[in-house]
């Protein structure tokens, strides 16, 4: 990791703790009618101007009289917080003898930045601390607002002092003057503690990363169709990577199924092949990453969790009967799962040819209500007055109904937002622990759900970034309509700020999720065409004023042999992904050429039409040996030679290559929509610092035509 956060400070010696409190803590007693207390407030506000006085205080030996000087003491559990942290505040109230006191009304707590009260998650302005009888302290937690601005924040506790005259303030004010002022007003005591909110700089990564994924188990004994129609063994996975123009292969190496144990929590058939699959990828010029399914176990649909490691399972509750049941997801509270994932990371970090390590399903799913009691104790949520007298079943059911009710509500969703923030805080904290515990230095990526920029699922890209994640891969699928997908993009665009997090959004091969007629249009677009459009919108629109770092295409298995391709061959889905990859790289200008394709929007079936391929050299060097090839797609046949060559293209030079083709027959299953795709390859060369020599030298452009 780039930087380690500061954790709890309670390991200090008492003397060191007192000295730190003297240097960081500000406390004063004030009254609107008392000059003496106003002076103390001024000291608090004018932090820097009283630096010399503060230094003198630091040099005074600490002693028990310091504790007795003020009735109110406020502590934060760290000096620096990141956006995924939860600020814990402890408030100690004492009498003049230094003995802890419980008040009729607890102190009022606010957090300020630049003098203004900060409104945090769920619209909370003021915290009401709870009394901890064991430690004889008041305790509360402040959730850091989504996307909090970095800088200095000040937590402030305030309480009324019934009888200020009994306190030895040690101020040079005449006793008769003090008493006369005390008689005229109400005195309050204010304690403040500063802390910093920081954000971790996003990891430096070369733009244009485009990954193809393989999600199923490693194929040991099945024949895999290649893009050219032949079949092969697991090496065919790499053939698909080359066909789609990926520069990285991401493989799911960490899977927990029935039969796994506490000692062997992941399926061996997926972990064991990682070194040879990674080495084979490197031999093809591909980078390699492997990920683990973090909290899901397989099969997802089952009656019990027998036959799996002895994890603490996520739990759901019946809204009607209150019956509690386990779900197939491991609880986010389970430390052994964190240990297992950290061990997976450690092993992958040691594997020479593994370039990235990742996580998926880093979230709770159905249920997660085993976390209710900690959630309600840590978050400033509004609860019924009889909360502590309710049974566990009643508490869980209340939260479940509250969360689900506000999820469906148009307004008044404060509780739901707090539940989502708190789960995101737990998720990111777990990821931070996995990274730290494994000691991994390689880039870590994770797949993130995309609705409400992940918030609805207890995920937050900025929290993950601060936890040490190098790259977030938002999943743009599970969007059944064009309007739904538009909302997905809008949520990200309104939330995400430029320069803060590396994103590489992606889409999946799935006809039912893409084959929807958009509003106000009568013709349904081809599903691979929609995949391309979504990937491009994700790249250009998810962050206002910034392009994403790259993208991913999911997945090779679905294209090669999946059942949800619809009437479109896997190669067509792959060419749509390849075209998106090419445009992503062109937008970053990491390719030496720019390629555009023009063709008619509609063509009579059987008639010959012309495709114009425009190629521009965007560098100051010559590009040589360009091969322009009309790809083989469903019902599109070349007329004449389907491949052309350009020997060289000088600096800044453009060239247009015409290619002829025809639609061979009608296909009502495809709604008579046909893909024309052209691939351009070129020879290696030196094209300047901006052009990435490690990327595949292939550029795909495509367009769908209507057959009439």
Give the pLDDT of residue 188: 84
309: which 2 tokens? 């490691």
- The lowest-confidence range among 19-33, 216-230, 294-308, 533-547 is 19-33
| Span 450-456, average pLDDT | 92
Can you give 177-204 as a three-state secondary structure string? HHHHHHCCCCEEEEEEEEEEECCCCCCC
Q: What is the dihedral of CA 396, 399, 402, 407, to 10 degrees?
A: -110
| Dist CA 199 CA 258 (whole Å) | 40
- The answer to whether 451 touches 475, Cβ cutoff 8 Å, is no
CA 209, CA 632: separation in Å to the nearest integer? Answer: 26
Q: Which residues pair with 554 in a beta bridge?
A: 508
Q: What is the pLDDT of residue 165?
A: 77
pLDDT in tens, 253-276: 999 999 999 999 999 999 999 999
> What is the average pLDDT across 98-117?
94
pLDDT of residue 522: 59
Give 519-568 pLDDT, tens digit per residue: 655 567 899 999 999 999 999 999 999 999 999 999 999 999 999 999 99
Query: How does residue 407 score in pLDDT terms, banded at 50, 70 and 90?
Result: confident
Residue 40, pLDDT > 90, answer: no
Indicate the pTM of the whole model. Answer: 0.88
Residue 680 has pLDDT above 50, yes or no: yes
pLDDT tens track for 477-530: 888 888 889 999 999 999 999 999 999 999 999 999 887 766 655 567 899 999
Buried b (16+ CB within 10 A) or exposed e, 522-556: eebbbbbbbbbbbbbbbbebbbeeebbbbbbbbbb
Q: How does pLDDT run across 285-341, given as a tens digit for each residue?
A: 999 999 999 999 999 888 899 999 999 999 999 988 999 999 999 999 999 999 999
Residue 247 backbone dihedrals phi, psi, to 5 degrees: -105, 0
Domain ranges, ordered by start, for the chain: 14-197, 209-368+421-588, 590-708
The CATH number that domain 209-368+421-588 falls under is: 3.20.20.80
Residue 450's CB: how many other CB atoms inside 10 A? 26
Within 13 Å of residue 490, how many CA atoms lie on the same side as its CB? 6
pLDDT, tens digit, for every residue of 365-397? 878 999 999 999 999 999 999 999 999 999 999
How far is the C-alpha of 495 from the C-alpha of 452, rounded, in Å?
9
**Average pLDDT score over residue span 350-378:** 95
pLDDT score for 409: 79
pLDDT digits (tens, 9 = 90+) for 141-193: 999 999 999 999 999 999 988 777 777 654 444 444 544 444 456 788 899 99
Residue 176 burial (CB count, 10 A): 8
Contact partners, residue 154, CB within 8 Å, separation at least 6:
111, 112, 113, 192, 193, 194, 195
Structure tokens at 227: 């893009």
Q: Is the pLDDT confidence value at 38 over 50?
A: no
Question: So what CATH class is 14-197?
Answer: mainly beta
Q: Counting beta carbons within 10 angstroms of the beta carbon of residue 400, is it exposed (0 to 12), middle (13 to 18) or buried (19 or more)? A: buried
C-beta atoms surrounding 377 within 10 Å? 11
Asked if 278 and 267 count as a contact pair (C-beta separation under 8 A), the reply is no
Does residue 38 or residue 169 have the better pLDDT? 169
SS (H, E, C) 546-572: ECCCEEEEECHHHHHHCCCCCCCCHHH
CATH classification code of 590-708: 2.60.40.10
* Nearest alpha carbon to residue 675 among 537, 528, 577, 558: 528
- Determine the Cα–Cα distance for residues 705 and 692; give it in Å rounded to an integer: 33
Asked if the model's pLDDT at residue 133 lies above 60, the reply is: yes
- pLDDT, tens digit, for every residue of 606-646? 999 999 999 999 999 999 999 999 999 999 999 998 999 99
**Contacts with 326 (C-beta within 8 Å, 6 or more apart), sequence order:** 304, 305, 313, 314, 315, 316
Contact between 309 and 260 under an 8 Å Cβ cutoff? The reply is yes
Q: Which token pair is 276?
A: 């040879």
Task: Please state, rounded to an integer, the average pLDDT across all residues of the chain.
Answer: 88
Q: Evaluate whether 14-197 and 209-368+421-588 have a shared fold.
A: no
Residue 54, pLDDT > 90, answer no
Q: What is the DSSP code (8-state) at residue 369?
A: G
Radius of gyration in angstroms for the set of CA atoms belonging to the chain, rounded to a whole number: 31
Q: Are 123 and 33 in contact (CB under 8 A)?
A: no
Question: Dihedral of the CA atoms 173, 177, 180, 186 (nearest 10)?
Answer: -20
Is the pLDDT reported for residue 450 higher than 80? yes
Q: Rounded to whole angstroms, what are the CA distances from 522 to 512, 516, 517, 518, 525?
A: 18, 11, 7, 8, 10
- What is the bridge-based pairing of β-strands 287-293 and 356-360? parallel
Give the model's pLDDT for residue 185: 61
Res. 687: pLDDT tops 80: yes
């Amino acid at each position: 990791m780039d930087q380690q956060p500061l954790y709890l400070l309670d390991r200090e010696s008492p003397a060191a703790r007192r000295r730190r409190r003297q240097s960081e803590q500000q406390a004063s007693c004030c009254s609107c009618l008392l000059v003496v207390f106003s002076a103390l407030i001024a000291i608090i506000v004018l932090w820097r101007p009283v630096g010399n006085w503060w230094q003198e205080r630091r040099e005074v030996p600490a002693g028990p009289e310091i504790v007795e000087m003020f009735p109110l003491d406020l502590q934060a559990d760290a000096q620096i917080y990141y956006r995924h942290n939860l600020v814990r505040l402890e408030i100690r109230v004492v009498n003049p003898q230094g003995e802890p006191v419980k008040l009729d009304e607890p102190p009022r707590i606010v957090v300020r930045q630049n003098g203004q009260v900060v409104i945090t998650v769920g619209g909370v302005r003021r915290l009401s601390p709870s009394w901890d009888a064991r430690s004889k302290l008041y305790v509360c937690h402040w959730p850091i607002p989504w996307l909090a601005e970095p800088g200095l924040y000040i937590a402030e506790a305030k309480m009324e002092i019934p009888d200020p005259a009994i306190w030895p303030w040690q101020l040079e004010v005449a006793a008769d003057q003090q008493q006369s002022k005390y008689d005229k007003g109400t005195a309050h005591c204010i304690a403040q503690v500063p802390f910093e909110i920081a954000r971790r700089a996003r990891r430096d990564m070369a733009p244009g990363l485009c990954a193809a994924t393989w999600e199923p188990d490693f194929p040991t004994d099945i024949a895999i169709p290649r893009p050219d129609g032949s079949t092969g063994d697991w090496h065919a996975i790499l053939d698909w990577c080359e066909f789609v123009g990926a520069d990285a292969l991401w493989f799911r190496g960490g899977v927990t199924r029935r039969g796994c144990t506490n000692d062997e929590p992941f399926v061996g058939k997926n972990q064991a092949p990682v070194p040879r699959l990674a080495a084979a990828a490197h031999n093809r010029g591909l980078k390699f990453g492997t990920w683990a399914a973090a909290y899901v176990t397989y099969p997802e649909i089952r009656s019990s969790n027998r036959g799996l490691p002895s994890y603490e399972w996520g739990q759901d509750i019946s809204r009607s009967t209150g019956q509690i049941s386990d779900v197939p997801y491991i609880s986010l509270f389970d430390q052994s799962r964190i240990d297992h994932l950290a061990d997976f990371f450690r092993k992958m970090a040691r594997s020479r040819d593994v370039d990235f390590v990742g996580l998926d399903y880093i979230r709770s799913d159905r249920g997660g209500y085993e976390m209710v009691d900690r959630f309600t104790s840590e978050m400033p949520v509004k609860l019924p007055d009889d909360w502590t007298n309710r049974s566990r079943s009643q508490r869980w059911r209340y939260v479940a109904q509250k969360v689900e009710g506000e999820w469906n509500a148009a307004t008044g969703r404060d509780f739901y937002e707090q539940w989502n923030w708190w789960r995101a805080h737990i998720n990111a904290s777990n990821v931070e622990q996995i990274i730290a515990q494994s000691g991994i230095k390689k880039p870590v990526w994770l797949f993130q759900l995309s609705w409400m920029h992940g918030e609805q699922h207890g995920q937050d890209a900025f929290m993950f970034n601060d936890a040490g994640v190098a790259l977030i891969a938002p999943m743009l699928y599970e969007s059944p309509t064009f309007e739904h997908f538009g909302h997905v993009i809008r949520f990200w665009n309104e939330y995400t700020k430029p320069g803060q997090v590396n994103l590489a959004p992606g889409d999946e091969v799935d006809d039912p999720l893409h084959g929807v007629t958009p509003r106000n249009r009568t013709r349904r677009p081809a599903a691979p065409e929609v995949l391309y459009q979504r990937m491009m919108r994700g790249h250009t629109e998810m962050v206002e004023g910034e392009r994403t770092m790259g993208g991913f295409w999911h997945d090779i298995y679905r294209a090669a042999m999946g059942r949800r391709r619809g009437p479109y061959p896997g190669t067509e889905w792959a060419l749509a992904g390849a075209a998106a990859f090419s445009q992503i790289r062109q937008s970053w200008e990491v390719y030496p050429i720019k390629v555009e394709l023009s063709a008619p929007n509609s063509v009579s079936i059987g008639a010959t039409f012309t495709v114009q391929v425009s190629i521009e050299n965007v560098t100051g060097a010559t590009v040589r040996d360009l091969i322009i090839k009309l790809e083989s797609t469903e019902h599109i046949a070349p007329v004449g030679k389907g491949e052309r060559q350009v020997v060289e293209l000088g600096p800044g030079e453009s060239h247009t290559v015409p290619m002829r083709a025809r639609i061979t027959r009608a296909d009502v299953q495809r709604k008579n929509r046909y893909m024309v795709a052209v691939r351009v390859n070129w020879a290696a060369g030196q094209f300047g610092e901006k052009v990435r020599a490690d990327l595949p030298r292939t550029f795909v452009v495509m367009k769908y035509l209507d057959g009439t």
